[in-house]
Chain A
């Protein structure tokens, strides 16, 4: 009787063992992320006048820097902020423009002159861009002024 039970149990184990083995399979996933840079504008900046109306600056009271999110999927990309040469609206006579930027996140830097390039580390970096428009003589007349800083990633 004991022999009969063993004779039944051994083939039964052999039959069910492959079922357990087949459940442990590996599903392979494959993908590629290429090297790229993505710029996303957060908030446009605001430039306001100083007390003597000779400067429009994002650092003045009521002004605000513009923010741009830079995402680099790899190392080696460079970022810069190119100042405009004229206003897109408003008189640009006797006006000199200067841009600067600060970086926070994957890459850190503070008050970098706009034309200077900074190498981005892989990851997300927030770029804060400032703009100053200064009259070499005289003062700004009443009216609307707008200028565009170019944030470049290459």
Chain B
């Protein structure tokens, strides 16, 4: 009887450990997904956004990371890696720093852009843009 109880306790422990491991694994996977919306608060005169660019293709692809304002005019922001080459089905994190330029808040689009085409043909440029709001705290 005592042996069986110990066996049951061991099983419960094993299941608990398994569940915990699965929770950790899924948490790591969730971090690799690109955010498309976000609010960044900052005490300084610029705010930072960290996003993950993913390559859905089965071959390495080069992407440009560009920052635009609400009207798709280019913004003078600092992009950690303006041009990123990502392996097949891989991801890469990019950090973008945007100055407030005297405003208390600023809306920007951060776009990952890829170019796919052949000579003498019409081509396609893909542009996936996340929309972010930067807010200066204490203003």
Query: Are both chains from one complex?
Result: yes
Most chain B CB atoms below 10 A, which of A27, A30, A68: A30
Please judge, given known A-B contacts A149-B125, A153-B128, whether A144 and B116 are in contact too, CB under 8 Å: no
A149 contacts B124, CB within 8 Å? yes
**Contact in complex: B126, A151 (CB < 8 Å):** yes
Residues of A within 8 Å of B124, CB to CB, are 41, 44-45, 66, 68, 129, 148-151
Please determine whether B128 and A146 come into contact, CB atoms closer than 8 angstroms: no
Task: Give every chain B residue within 8 A of A41 (Cβ-Cβ).
Answer: 114, 116, 124, 126
A133-154 near B? 1/0 per residue, CB < 8 Å: 0000000000011111111111
A150 CB to nearest B CB, Å: 4
Contact B128 A89 (CB under 8 A): no
Assess the A15–B109 pair: CB atoms within 8 A: no
Whether A33 contacts B33 in the complex (CB less than 8 A), given A18-B5, A38-B56, A44-B118, comes out as: yes
Chain B residues with CB below 8 A from A13, complex form = none
Minimal beta-carbon separation of A100 from chain B (angstroms) = 13
